[in-house]
């Protein structure tokens, strides 16, 4: 490749990059980040819901512990 061909290839790439930049800066470019991105609301659980979830997890842990103990006895 000659220098002129290399320079022409670089100019073409620069042109493509400028087009991509314009697309990204436009308001129609929907990306998940940036100032126009929708933020996700934090979920708020009631104390009762937290207590039910906690009790269910403790039951799962107890069941797992019983199964491990039973397997160890065999």
Q: Is there a domain that residue 18 lies in?
A: yes
How far, in Å, CA of 1 to CA of 20, rounded?
27
DSSP letter, residue 41: P
Q: Which two tokens stand for residue 63?
A: 């069941």
Residue 34 within a domain: no
pTM higher than 0.75, yes or no? no
State how far the Cα of 33 lies from the Cα of 19, in Å rounded to an integer: 19
Q: How confident is the model at residue 63 (pLDDT cuts 50, 70, 90)?
A: very high
pLDDT digits (tens, 9 = 90+) for 2-43: 999 999 999 999 999 999 999 888 866 555 555 556 788 888
Phi/psi of residue 30, each to 5°?
-85, 105
d(Cα 74, Cα 72) in Å, to the nearest integer? 6
Q: Which domain holds residue 14?
A: 3-28+46-73
Number of domains in the chain: 1
């Amino acid at each position: 490749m000659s220098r002129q061909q290399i320079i022409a290839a670089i100019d073409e790439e620069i042109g493509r990059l400028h087009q991509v930049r314009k697309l990204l800066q436009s308001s129609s470019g929907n990306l998940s980040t940036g100032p126009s991105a929708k933020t996700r609301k934090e979920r708020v659980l009631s104390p009762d819901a937290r207590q039910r979830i906690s009790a269910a997890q403790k039951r799962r842990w107890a069941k797992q512990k019983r199964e491990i103990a039973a397997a160890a006895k065999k």
